[in-house]
Structure 1
């Protein structure tokens, strides 16, 4: 496993939703890299730790990523350099990400630099938050030849299931658009976490929630 970067999706929040492959990989790697806040490992690490407690004894790279987009390039480059330094010394590294590494993940910004440095990358998929959210409310996202659209904080008139990620700060305008189209909506905040909250129907949804909020709009 040496000199390989593993991108591990830890799922939406419930540690029981980590895949068996993810847990096995976490047990074998040398270094755990994860998004952090003020140099303290973040939510992805907390989830992984519950599923695989022995990562507490491994070296941890706490990677700080500011919320402002204009400040992210330097943070991504710094994170990649730290990971490459461990790969160069012959270690294997696991980068933890919420949900799936290929879906609105910070990992995509780091992987290019690692590949250019000549190191192998393996992506270990995780359960996307919108799948877990739909399961929580007992909703079938699509059947037969039905279509699905996914956006980041944007409402679009659509003949199918519309999934709006990162909806928390834009709910007031999103609710208005949903009402105008006569659609049904569900909001799942902090899916799979201890403070998970589910709202059913446009009128039940507040005007603002936290960052980890998923809006599912159906006919």
Structure 2
């Protein structure tokens, strides 16, 4: 589990084919490796990866066919910059929102423009994910916890302050750039509850939209 608050940026230094899968290596001089050990998780551009090898300020991880199919790693190349975050600990501050590191799909940058000192981006999401994206809700984009400022159909607006642009890969985004998206987990679970476990033999439930509204969830 992660927060979407990026701890450091790293550089992809190696992509090695291992059968149909890939082993990648990321060099990250700005990341604190003092408490990292084999088997730990590091979110890499929003993808939860398991450390299989450690070197001097670098780590390697396996990338499966499933991950290649769902994320931007299929187009990754040596030299690419990566947003990095180590997994949460019980004493961590939850400064962003709860992020699992399980990417739901790919989005595409539609436009970029300056807004004062900030940068505004419109991102197009896959149609099957757009229903989980709400104005003023949270979304993880390339592992960064961000607030959705507007929604139009399948597209959503991000307003990026200078600090976030400087500490992440966002400043490099241009129209056409593909990004990893992870929608808010609460929205997914809420939908499943409202469906009553469709497709499975779920126990009867008295949960309704009216009751959710009365309780302040809607």
Q: Does TM, scored on the shorter chain, surpass 0.5?
A: no
What TM-score do the two structures reach when normalised by structure 2? 0.24
* Larger helix fraction of residues: 1
What TM-score do the two structures reach when normalised by structure 1? 0.24
